[in-house]
Structure 1
Amino acid sequence: MNFKTMKENGIMDIRYENSILDASNSDEFKNDILRVIAENKKIALDLSEVSFVDSSGCGALLFCLRNLAAKECELKLYGVQQPVRLLFELVRMHRVVDILNTREEVLQLF
């Protein structure tokens, strides 16, 4: 598993510790993150180490969003590097999930 987790004030903070989220690891990402988020209502996903995401990576994030929405849970992304943020804006990901700069901003929204 490529995650570090910490739960504080009812918010599960997940740090994805891989520089790439693409077709080569998106299935592993989905399986691993589902185990981590299973019993949590508020999820903050730190993508600060991710420098590359492809369409499969975007699909993996959308998969997580759908699963969380079905359980009435919330997901917020933060620490997104500029190249990844530009991709998210291009595919309009920012319209379906909050993308914030810092953990503190996430805590304010929850």
Structure 2
Amino acid sequence: MKIFEEIIDDIVVEVVNVPRATLSESEELKSLVYSKIDNGYKKIIVDLTSCEFIDSSFLGALVSTLKRATKNGGDLKLVGLQPTVRAMFELTRLFRVFDTFTELQEAVRSFQSK
């Protein structure tokens, strides 16, 4: 499995454990996150620390899962954007859409302060 899950209290952390996140990882991510949302989880973090590259399908999966989370009263946050991945978010202006954090614990605390 290229993506593994960790649950911290009521927060689902999806760790994308590949250097290149492409179509197959996008489908896996959507499946995992949709399943968690359908099971009542509202707080999702996607950890991209290991990713040096994401393609447009993976970017679309992130947007899709964020929409699904917010539609169900939740939120999705990103952690660990590497420079090339951050550049992709800046180029597409999606850095304005997603809350991003450097460290996982920072992202976890942002949910707990709500």
Task: Give the TM-score, by structure 1 length.
Answer: 0.87
Check if 1:67 corresponds to 2:99: no
Work out the CA distance in 2 between the residues paired with 1:81 and 1:102: 12
Residue in structure 2 matched with residue 81 of structure 1 by the alignment: 82
Relative to structure 1, the CA distance from residue 34 to residue 82 in structure 2 (aligned partners, 3 Å threshold; closer, same or farther) is: same
**8 Å contact 2:3–2:28 — kept in the other structure?**
no
* Identical-residue share of aligned pairs (%): 33
Per-residue deviation, residues 38-95 of structure 1 (Å, max 9, x unmatched): 3311111111111111221111110111111110111110011111011111111111
Give how far 1:18 is off: 2.0
- Counterpart code for 2:61: A
Residue in structure 1 matched with residue 46 of structure 2 by the alignment: 45
Check if 1:15 corresponds to 2:15: yes
Work out the CA distance in 1 between the residues paired with 2:88 and 2:41: 28
Give how far 1:24 is off: 4.8
- Counterpart code for 1:34: Y
Which consecutive unaligned segments of at least 5 residues does structure 2 have? none
CA RMSD in angstroms, aligned pairs only: 1.7
- SS state at 1:49 partner: coil
Deviates more, 1:96-105 or 1:2-11: 2-11
Task: Give the TM-score, by structure 2 length.
Answer: 0.84
- Counterpart code for 1:47: L
Relative to structure 1, the CA distance from residue 58 to residue 9 in structure 2 (aligned partners, 3 Å threshold; closer, same or farther) is: same
